[in-house]
């Protein structure tokens, strides 16, 4: 089944910035795809279009069978963890459920399940200021997954972290993907990260949005 289909997507910002495209890309359900390319080639723009945060100037995007993503259907992780400083780790992860008025037992149980999966069970009552950069990013990952979305989008999530923390988080993200079975689109400018993590690397060139090549990779070692 197709999870995401982009057909001839283009984005031109005001003042004529030709940011992206045309790009055509199909991503299957459960696939882990990296978008790799230099700064400014339109990776974030493409991700925001997939998320429904921005409209393409031209072209069509289909998420599953819908032409617009549903609210719980997509989780988004930004480079900045953007946690609420006045709320505990647990309340930060719970926030998307509050916003969608989802207080079902299954969803509330997912909060603590995800905190355990990202290794933060003991930090549920802690506040963001008490956490390291890596731990904040883990909270951000848990929050993005709390609505049980079909699709997880990550925009250079680990770029600000030191190499060891980054490597740990890569491993943890892979474990989450294997256990939870999400469609993942991961934006990075790290060749290492893209090859380590994903089943397919889509390379965008500095010429805005143009796909220069696609590489399929054997499934990562278990």
Residues in contact with ligand ADP by the rule CB under 6 A: 13, 17, 19, 37, 39-45, 130-135, 165, 168
Task: Give the residue with the Cβ less far from ligand ADP, 168 or 200.
Answer: 168
Q: What is the nearest approach in angstroms of ligand ADP to the Cβ of residue 41?
A: 4
Task: Give the residue with the Cβ less far from ligand ADP, 50 or 97.
Answer: 50
Task: Give the residue with the Cβ less far from ligand ADP, 37 or 81.
Answer: 37
Q: What is the nearest approach in angstroms of ligand ADP to the Cβ of residue 27?
A: 18
Q: What is the nearest approach in angstroms of ligand ADP to the Cβ of residue 96?
A: 22
Q: What is the nearest approach in angstroms of ligand ADP to the Cβ of residue 201?
A: 15
Q: Return the residue nearest ligand ADP (CB atom).
A: 134
Tell me, letter by letter, the H, E, C secondary structure of the chain: CEEEEEEEEEEEEHHHEEEEEEEEEEEECCCEEEEECCCCCCHHHHHHHHHCCCCCCEEEEEECCECCCCHHHEEEECCCCCCCCCCCHHHHHHHHHHHCCCCCHHHHHHHHHHHHHCCCHHHCCCCHHHCCHHHHHHHHHHHHHCCCCCEEEEECCCCCCCHHHHHHHHHHHHHHHHHHCCEEEEEECCHHHHHHHCCEEEEECCCCCCEEEEEECCCCCC
Task: Give the residue with the Cβ less far from ligand ADP, 19 or 83.
Answer: 19
């Amino acid at each position: 089944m197709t999870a995401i289909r982009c057909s001839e997507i283009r984005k031109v910002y005001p003042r004529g910035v030709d940011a992206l495209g045309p790009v055509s890309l199909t991503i299957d359900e459960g696939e882990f795809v990296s978008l790799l390319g230099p700064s400014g080639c339109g990776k974030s723009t493409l991700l925001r279009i997939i998320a429904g945060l921005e409209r393409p100037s031209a072209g069509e995007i289909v998420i599953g069978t819908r032409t617009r993503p549903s609210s719980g259907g997509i989780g988004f992780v930004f480079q900045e963890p953007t946690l609420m400083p006045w709320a505990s780790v647990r309340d930060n992860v719970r926030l998307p459920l509050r916003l969608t008025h989802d207080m079902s037992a299954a969803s509330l149980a997912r909060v603590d399940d995800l905190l355990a999966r990202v290794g933060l069970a003991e930090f549920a009552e802690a506040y963001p200021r008490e956490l390291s950069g890596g731990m904040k990013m883990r909270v951000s990952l848990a929050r993005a997954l709390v609505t049980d979305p079909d699709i997880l989008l990550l925009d250079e999530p680990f770029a600000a972290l030191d190499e060891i923390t980054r490597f740990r988080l890569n491993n943890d993200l892979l474990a989450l993907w294997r256990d939870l079975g999400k469609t993942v689109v991961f934006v990075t400018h790290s060749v290492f990260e893209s090859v380590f993590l994903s089943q397919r690397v889509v390379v965008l060139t500095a010429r805005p949005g143009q796909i220069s090549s696609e590489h399929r990779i054997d499934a990562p070692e278990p």
